[in-house]
Structure 1
Amino acid sequence: MYAIVDIETTGGKYNEEGITEIAIYKYDGHEVVDQFISLVNPEREIQPFVVNLTGINSNMLRNAPKFYEVAKRIVEITNDCILVAHNAKFDYRILQTEFRRLGFDYERKSLCTVELSKYLIPDQPSYSLGKLVRSLGIPVTDRHRASGDALATVKLFKLLLSKDSEKKIIQESIRQNPKHQLEPRHLDILSELPSITGVYYIHNSDGDIIYIGKSNNIKKRINQHFTGTNPKSKKIQAKVYAVTYEATGSELVALLKESEEIKRVKPIYNRALRRNIFTHALYSFKDDKGYINLKIDAADGRKKPITTFSNRQSGKSFITKAVEDYTLCQKLSGLYNTKTSCFNYEIKACNGACIEKETPEDYNKRVLALIDKNSYANKNMVIIDKGRDVDERSAILIENGVFKGLGFFNLNYQINTIEVLESIITPMQNNRDTQHIIQSYLRKNKRLKIITIKTT
């Protein structure tokens, strides 16, 4: 659990400042579960430059509560939480100074979103909160007021969690959080999990990830792990200490993240992935008469496929439908073995490429249209899918035919160039598995929005 904080102060000499406004959002890594926002009477003068910056003046604070009146609420809402702030050293120091004046030692673990941003989103022109969130397309209101800045920090921290592919932030949180000192019962874990699409991580008592999976209903899937009777389920049940998850909204994002995370982390209870998650592929070749032929064959790493399939039957179903949709020849598509015309020619569903009645040029145009539709080779595009919230979408970036990574963006943020995407995209590995996942998903979800993007 995290307490995301922003504090406005009077300004003045070091360790003599007073709080004028405080905002705290209690955040569980996915949503805000509690909040506290209040003006505070600092019982001292506010520096003129601070009044100009924040708009908070002494008249506004005359009837505001003094710090000792809000101190108990601050302790309660930040209890068992890691303190998160943009330039956390400042906010944490101010809180400790105020509590010290009350004779109370205020101790919390802390995380700084400036430091995290420099590590996870390098090469930004500025890491000031205002400029950083604008460059990342994060909407911000009431700049230099505690509530507006804290809420912007919540959204920034959400982005940072999604870009933290090593899951260091979450693992440290599990190690540090006192409520995990005793092993939770399985029902306690289940009660905190949502029925949403995403990737889940099963941790042991050291915070290490021992199993990774994806599901369209995380709660239901974890319940299956906890009630399973096979050897793997029993091992997970004995070792599970916590379950964390990453909401994706999109099943495609979940599939891509699961594939990469398992390869990278190699959790002890994930069965070793097969070298490929596909067995068959669609290949093309030109015959001696100039016609492009299509063939479903066993996947061969030495050849470049047009698209791939989980099994031969899936490939055969695809090519059968393609023959119908593009008026292709059964013989040249590997579906009808004959030395003469194919069956479809006899029923006038083929234009006669099988017996050279249709020219190679005319026939090949339709074959190339099929290939272009089902392959993203040399393309620059973004696949837009569901996001984690109603005002968000996911973006999967393909650059020059290579899968580059994925991210999330607010609906008000315009996606039209690769440069705009670079700051929000989490880089990921491009391999034959990711190609298969993306192509299979595109085949099944034909209404997905795809944007062609410009390169510079």
Structure 2
Amino acid sequence: MYAIIDLETTGGQPTQDRITELAIFIHDGDKVVDHYETLVNPGRAIPFFITQLTGINDDMVRDAPRFHEVARKVVEMTEGCVFVAHNVRFDYSFLKKEFADLGYNYSRKTLCTVRLSRSLIPGQPSYSLGKLCQNIGIPLEGRHRAAGDAAATAILFDRLLKISQQDEALANPDLSPADTLATVDALAPSGRTPATKKPSARRVTAVQEAIKTALLPPNITPEKVAALPQEAGVYYFHNEQGEVIYVGKSINIYKRIQQHFAVDYKSRKSLEFKNSISDITWELTGSELVALLYESAEIKRMKPFYNRAQRRSVFPAGIYLRQDEQGYKHLYYGRADADNPATPLIALANQFKAKGFLYHKVSKYNLCQKLCDLYKTQGSCFDYQVHRCKGACVGLEPAAEYNLRVDEAIESFTFEHGSFVVIGQGRREDEKSIVVVENGRYLGFGYVDGEFSARRLADFREVITAYGDNKDVQQIIRQYLRTKHKDKVKVFK
């Protein structure tokens, strides 16, 4: 049994928007046997642009049931059914969120008619519901209304089942008419095919495959995912034109990409991102540190659309320096983004970590809390009152003396050693990765065979590919060296 579902909502974000209309068509593998539709009161105003799109306004839903009033009906109708929708992750995510708000874990197998259509009706110029129905002659009345879209999806689904049946009949001319006309009940709630019916292998396979791969982008095959390496490296998502739209990294590319595809997408934009992925390529790095550094370099070089949208700054907070009219140097934390023109002395993952980092430096180098913007007061800071501050906050400690300790703190922001090489795992067993930092500046990375040995920093410089130094790579190396890594760090004086 299949529950073909379509929803209309107040917007594209399941985390904050609500359902305004739902329709369910139950298909038994042969035909539609039941249906249900209702407006839903979302408990909030419907945006004007949504009303323009769907025709559903506040007056129409004012006396409609709230979702909790129809939730039982939805559960009962879809019990034991495969959840079918066009771009199924969107509708499924909305229903899961509505049920989660009621304290109920709604879980169903899912099937996406976009993916099934791409498999059984290849070569269409578009697989959006409206254009696909127009191109293959399916009537679509009431576009952007739940009942209209769900009814069209039900016809599409029925046609897809028949196409797979016909394909099997052509591929297997010895099948009897009874076999050829058999309906697909292999996915019934019992999980078994009734003994009185014998579904064709192709038909069952096409539907089972669609269910199994419902989490994948429509253009990505299971074979493509199965071929992904379970090793460290950088991976690229490409659109249909071959353009790189996202760059990522992982110590296990296969597992990371599986995680990408397994999540419930929370917005139309994230769903568009998933649906636009048409190919995956990768480059192995062997080393986790090299993967981090190479990803950062590739994002800056390629500026992929979805990296820019999601990660405008790898490290959106930082520690900054200013000097007041009396000559005192002030360390302070703040955002590190386009709205802040200052360059941070060190970039950090978020403002909470930046504040904690600054507190640590204030304690270690006996700095003034007030001059580090950690204690808001018109008078002296708290540390001065308990004799831990030497009085810079009230002008008692000379600026020159105080600034010496500020400079010491700033020096501690850099690497523990000025020049060093990180020697890690290569892409093969007989290979090593090399990351070079000279005088506090990142030079790049490269690979050498396992027998390579060098005594001078210059020897390592000769085997690397040069990459630019910036605040992001500085922070990547700093944070990596603080982890329990297994790489060898060779220090040069």
Class of the TM-score when normalised by the shorter of the 2 chains: 0.3 to 0.5
Larger radius of gyration: 2
Structure-2-length-normalised TM-score: 0.45
